[in-house]
Homo-oligomer: A and B are copies of this chain.
């Protein structure tokens, strides 16, 4: 018998290996340190391995932790202030954001990460400013993170610029932010036993000069890493690119050699079917944020087209103010149903596809599929346990129809997640996060949010957004 640190047995397992979900009835997993030693049927694992710590997973689902491929935790402190409105960015978010201090962004981010972990997210691909500060949250709570610093070369008060005017570029801002991303890489990439990794985060092709974008691409080649970038993310972006370069975003990126397997393109909201195919065939990957694009833009981006063209795509929850939640189970259901409606076909975007796009396909998109995304010997031990005796999972059937995955995607809410193991460490047990004090983190962040509202009051009033009017009319 081989000795390991932890054995979880007697549960139904989804390994997410192969083309489907890799179901094992009455399965088990053996974990040594931060690595999965073996996965298989319980009898087999219990015959070959022993451990001091055993978890009996009877009536539980054992599966890989979920991967949120696109999240901006630094602005989660603005949840609920910007939806059901036009001009989301300028009238909703910006009046608050211009008053956000880095330390407030950090405390807000921690609540957002707690929200994600409690719904089974183990890897956060956070894409934000001041990642040098936010990274500490991931270190403290013990989550896996693949971080990118937002790089642009536009002044912070760009939200005040009238729609249609070209953004002014300031190379000194660009260099400062690029340097911050490079410093982040230098200081934090592959730290915490490899749990924290860093990639590059150009904000969008409209938000920087072509020169800076090419410079970032050159750094990506030098570091052999990826670019996490908003692409064709809204009419505002397309307008800027057309006005500046006389062509649309995808053509512009293609022309300059920026469409390739290093690119992780986010949204593609405004891409035509033809442009979507071009991106898919280039080897670039796609992150689809169903909830945020639905609520902010009322749109369903061409993710299914991208997949049909042979591309690799996954899901992200995007920012809390505009979705408004960071729960990958919500994201899976939203993605599936919005695409069924888009194509008027209930067979489109099935539960298996949705679940893969929050696990192994997400790992492929982010370039970490050698480490996470499936339960497989040799991979990092990011494992979650869900309570199959919750009403939302009722009934659990295994033959002839197996309904666990549909019920996970379409019925579960997130609170079925009982235990979260990240890099071999138990971060949440019986829904209690062990590494940080949840209530205290929320208390601190709530105090900060109230202070921002006070400082931002005049800007909020003068923006006079649709939802401010609703508050004034007693409708909210």
Contacts and interface: CB of A to CB of B under 8 A. Distances in A.
A402 B346 contact: no
A461 B115 contact: no
Interface stretch (A81-89, A152-160, A237-245): A81-89
Contacts of A227: none
B392 A325 contact: yes
- Counting from the closest, the 3 A-B pairs by CB-CB distance are A80-B403, A395-B449, A20-B475
A406 B470 CA distance: 12
A177 to B, nearest CB: 27
Nearest to A115: B391
Contacts of A412: 325
Given A84-B336, A325-B392, 13 more contacts: A84-B346, A86-B347, A88-B346, A111-B394, A115-B391, A297-B346, A330-B413, A338-B338, A341-B341, A341-B342, A394-B445, A395-B446, A400-B461
A445 B393 CA distance: 12
A476 B402 contact: yes
8 contacts: A83-B410, A118-B391, A297-B346, A341-B342, A352-B476, A396-B446, A400-B457, A401-B468
B21 A475 contact: yes
A467 B399 CA distance: 12
Contacts of A111: 391, 394
A173 interface: no
A352 B470 contact: yes
Interface stretch (A26-34, A207-215, A288-296): A288-296
Nearest to A443: B389
Given A79-B407, A414-B413, A397 B453 contact: yes
Q: Which of A21, A442, A460 has the most CB of B within 10 A?
A: A442
A333 B80 CA distance: 13
Contacts of A410: 80, 83, 295, 323-325
Nearest to A118: B391
A401 B83 contact: no
Nearest to A116: B391
A413 B76 CA distance: 17
Contact of A471 (B345, B402, B442, B453): B402
Interface string A149-169: 000000000000000000000
Interface residues of A, number: 98
A338 B118 CA distance: 26
A114 interface: yes
A79 B114 contact: no
Q: Which of A336, A343, A403 has the most CB of B within 10 A?
A: A403
A127 interface: no
Contact of A298 (B340, B402, B449): B340
Contact of A19 (B465, B467, B475): B475
A320 interface: yes
Given A298-B340, A474-B23, A85 B346 contact: yes
A351 interface: yes
A327 B413 contact: yes
A84 B475 contact: no
Nearest to A117: B391
B294 A453 contact: no
Contacts of A76: 394
A21 B445 contact: no
Contact of A397 (B81, B342, B391, B399): B81
Nearest to A438: B391
A224 interface: no
Interface in A351-366: 351-352
